[in-house]
Amino acid sequence: MKNLENNMNEEDIKIVRTTSTFDCGGRCPLRLHIKEGKIIRVEGDDYEEKDEQLRTCLRCRALRQYVYHPKRLKYPLKRDGPKGSGKFKRISWDKALTEIAKKLKEVKQKYGNSSIFLVTGGAYQGAYHDGMFAMMRLLTLFGGYSTHYGNISSEGAVYATQTQYTSPFVGHSRTDLLNSKLIIMWGWDPARMISGSDTIFNLIKAKEKGIKIICIDPRYSDSAVVLADQWIPIIPGTDTAMMVAIAYVMIDENLHDQEFLDNYTVGFEEFKDYVMGKKDGIPKTPEWAEKITSVPAETIANLAREYAITKPAALMDCQGPARSAVGELYNRGAMTLTAMTGNVGKHGGSAAGGLMGIPYGHMFFASRIPPPYRNPVETGLKSVRGSLDLQLRFQARCHINKIFDAVLKGKEGGYPFDVKFAWFVNNNFLNQLGNANKSAEALKKLDYMVIADLWLTPTARYADIILPVTSIAEKSDLIRPWPSGPYFVCANQVIEPMGECKSDLRIAEELADKLGLEEFEKYPDEKKALRFLIKLREDTRKNLRDINKFREDGIHRLKLEEPYVAFKEQIEDIENKPFNTPSGKIEIFSQRIADLNDPENPPIPKYMERWEGRYDPLIEKYPLQLISPHPKNRVHSELYLVEWLREVDPHVAWINPIDAEARGIKDGDEILVFNDRGKITIKAWLTERIIPGVISIFEGAWYDPDKNGIDRGGCVNTLTKDAYSPGGASALNSCLVEIKKFKGGT
């Protein structure tokens, strides 16, 4: 009787406060009930200040199903069949690490360190056990490695904010939304993708307060359903056309804040000339934009007036629309409108920029790679982009959405390295980067591959060795909240590792021994390590005096005197606290971009048509635009196997009834979605929550090709392109497809 879960004897149950580390936009403080070494219950935040509680999301509520899932990997595995077959046999840690060390030495000797490829993702958001940083340290000591550049999530926004502000911390505290008079959510759906655990709560409070909320999205998103006074559907990839038409109305009707522009920006005149059509003879009127965006001219003009007149107003752009061929231009357009309305640096306003970060969330970031090493493979190499040095674009690297192209083509294909050994950590990139079929081909050809993961993912199926890693319940760590929250969180180990699982850090430590790298710094004592990490940064040190209490509480909330507002300092005192840009001001015109002399990369934000959008001639063959937002019931491909979460939101394609009827497709039909890159099957969901001409499939379903090469798992990246915008945005939302009823076969 004693072992029965429901027989809760109070004394037997210990409640441990902790958190999760998923790569989603939230961070839920959790209270895990532990009985006889097992998690028997998950409860959420019970902070007495109810308004500041960070409410637990559905993914964390399913934590037990995730941690104890029968398909968790428990032992190291060695490939025992063709690559991709999924056939593996159990081996010991000693054998696995001995083989890996031998291979590493061989590759280093024969091809040099640049042939060792470290492929990192953001899955684990801890400071201490994060394998990506452990492997960086280890391989640096080993003589270096090649890797990739370009943040898969937000490179459009990074490029845009670096260009115009030179800072990625463009956000406000979420409580500052309550100081707004108008909130424009432009391609932002935090009811699903979170953007900080306090976001949707504050937006609901804003709505209750009577603040008007407008959502601009090709989908009637969950956030629009809950919050919007007005939903403005738009053709994907055309947002910048609507933005410049808004600018047109403001200029034409003299509604813009000229004084703000004069004091704080450079280059508005160039932008104005473009908007008014001084050089190209095309005034960017609402009527002009209507033809491109499908948004009625009157709607655009009204929004322009409302946004210009209502002060303060928060224009909230995000990353989804920027994850496209037009990428950064969308964020640059949004930032330009926030300057034209003088909303930057003001309470209730917004600087836009898509990142929405406030500095506190990243406090543990810098602390992860002590001591700082430089990768010898990159020594002395400059940024590819020359004058616009984003420090991410080294000549030694390939773009993140070209990882598999680089594996396939190597130096002959113009890449700086030939891959002979690859280590995958914190990612399932076969599934998550563009053009999965091509990625699978690349992985078949790859000489040697190691992956560390909790699951036998589609990517792991191609590995030579799979190393099983611990989940967050099995280790203690400091956890990085996404950048919205002014709080620190930590995780406390609550159960013993499953099977023979180890954290990535432990794996790196043991591999260091096999490689004879005695200098590799180890942290055998977690408590000591945590103290060390906290001490590294002054702000953390100041805030977290009582580490034991922090450990017990699992969270430390910062009490800010007022909501954080990006660039408030600059706006209040531009003379003494200029922006970090070369001009010291917000750069609507960027000389650094102009110097690149790239016609695809204009120095002012412009509407541009690139590829696989509504106006690409390819639309004749593939008449539907495919967008792939992030799933609410998963974190990308993680949690895919958790049954509870599958039930919440079955994997379907959103299709407007007009498009479905034209093809004889009914609700619930199995359909084939296809283009030249691949074919997937999925169920059709007929809904007017998406505009005609566009279909939506959430990213992250597991790639599962059948013998005809049709992906029966419905992984959206079987269809997307492995390409990027001039600013480096992975263009996963620029994708054209056709659909038809699936009747089996090919």
Ligand X SMILES: Nc1nc2c(c(=O)[nH]1)N[C@H]1C(S)=C(S)[C@@H](COP(=O)(O)OP(=O)(O)OC[C@H]3O[C@@H](n4cnc5c(=O)[nH]c(N)nc54)[C@H](O)[C@@H]3O)O[C@H]1N2
Q: Which residues bind to Mo ion, rule: CB under 5 A?
A: 153
Q: Which does 581 bind (CB under 5 to 8 A by kind): Mo ion, ligand X, none?
A: none
Q: Which is nearer to ligand X, 104 or 544 (CB)?
A: 104
Q: Which is nearer to ligand X, 29 or 218 (CB)?
A: 218
Q: Which is nearer to ligand X, 197 or 581 (CB)?
A: 197
CA-wise closest residue to 321 among 227, 189, 167: 189
Q: Which is nearer to ligand X, 569 or 676 (CB)?
A: 676
C-alpha distances (whole Å) from 637 to each of 118, 426, 612, 625, 702 are: 20, 11, 25, 22, 7
Q: Which is nearer to Mo ion, 638 or 659 (CB)?
A: 638
**DSSP characters over 249-317:** HHHHTT-S-HHHHHHHEE-HHHHHHHHHTTTTS----HHHHHHHH---HHHHHHHHHHHHHSSSEEEEE
Distance CA 410, CA 609 (A): 30
48 Cβ contact partners less than 8 Å away, ≥ 6 residues apart? none
Smallest separation, CB 460 to ligand X (Å): 8
CA angle 221, 226, 230 (to 5 degrees): 70
C-beta separation of 154 from 322 below 8 A:
yes
Distance CA 23, CA 459 (A): 18
Q: Which is nearer to Mo ion, 179 or 195 (CB)?
A: 195
Q: Which is nearer to Mo ion, 153 or 457 (CB)?
A: 153
Half-sphere exposure of 79 (CA within 13 A, CB side): 20
Distance CA 296, CA 298 (A): 5
Distance CA 631, CA 334 (A): 25
**DSSP characters over 188-238:** --HHHH-SSTTHHHHHHHHHHTT-EEEEE-SB--HHHHHH-SEEE---TT-
Question: Where does residue 654 fall: left (phi above 0), alpha (psi -120 to 50 degrees), or beta otherwise?
Answer: beta
Q: Which is nearer to ligand X, 217 or 587 (CB)?
A: 217
C-beta separation of 184 from 352 below 8 A:
no
Smallest separation, CB 151 to ligand X (Å): 8
Q: Which does 469 bind (CB under 5 to 8 A by kind): ligand X, Mo ion, none?
A: ligand X
Q: Which is nearer to ligand X, 252 or 649 (CB)?
A: 649
Q: Coil, strand, or helix at residue 182?
A: strand
C-alpha distances (whole Å) from 589 to each of 42, 581, 656 are: 51, 11, 39
Smallest separation, CB 322 to Mo ion (Å): 11
Q: Which does 121 bind (CB under 5 to 8 A by kind): Mo ion, ligand X, none?
A: ligand X
Q: Which is nearer to ligand X, 466 or 530 (CB)?
A: 466
Smallest separation, CB 633 to ligand X (Å): 7
Smallest separation, CB 228 to Mo ion (Å): 24
Torsion angle of C-alpha atoms 631, 634, 635, 636, degrees rounded to 10: -60
CA angle 356, 360, 363 (to 5 degrees): 120
CA-wise closest residue to 328 among 579, 23, 610: 610
Provide the CA 618 distance to its chain's centre, in angstroms: 28
Q: Which does 318 bind (CB under 5 to 8 A by kind): Mo ion, ligand X, none?
A: ligand X
Peptide bond into 312 cis (omega under 30): yes
Torsional sign, CA 681, 682, 687, 693: negative
Q: Which is nearer to Mo ion, 179 or 733 (CB)?
A: 733
**SS3 per-residue string spanning 315-326:** EEECCCCCCCCC
414 Cβ contact partners less than 8 Å away, ≥ 6 residues apart? none
Distance CA 348, CA 564 (A): 11
Torsion angle of C-alpha atoms 138, 142, 148, 153, degrees rounded to 10: 0
Q: Which is nearer to ligand X, 427 or 570 (CB)?
A: 427
Smallest separation, CB 169 to Mo ion (Å): 17
Q: Which is nearer to ligand X, 29 or 156 (CB)?
A: 156
Residue nearest to Mo ion (CB): 153
Smallest separation, CB 593 to Mo ion (Å): 24
C-beta separation of 434 from 730 below 8 A:
yes
Residues of this chain that interact with ligand X (CB under 6 A) are 23-25, 121-124, 131, 152-154, 186-189, 192-194, 216-219, 221, 234, 236-237, 239, 318-321, 323, 425-429, 432, 452-455, 457, 469, 504, 627-632, 634-638, 699-700, 716-717, 720, 732-733
Q: Which does 131 bind (CB under 5 to 8 A by kind): ligand X, Mo ion, none?
A: ligand X
Residue nearest to ligand X (CB): 320
Q: Cα Rg for the chain, rounded, in angstroms?
A: 25
Q: Which is nearer to Mo ion, 22 or 685 (CB)?
A: 22
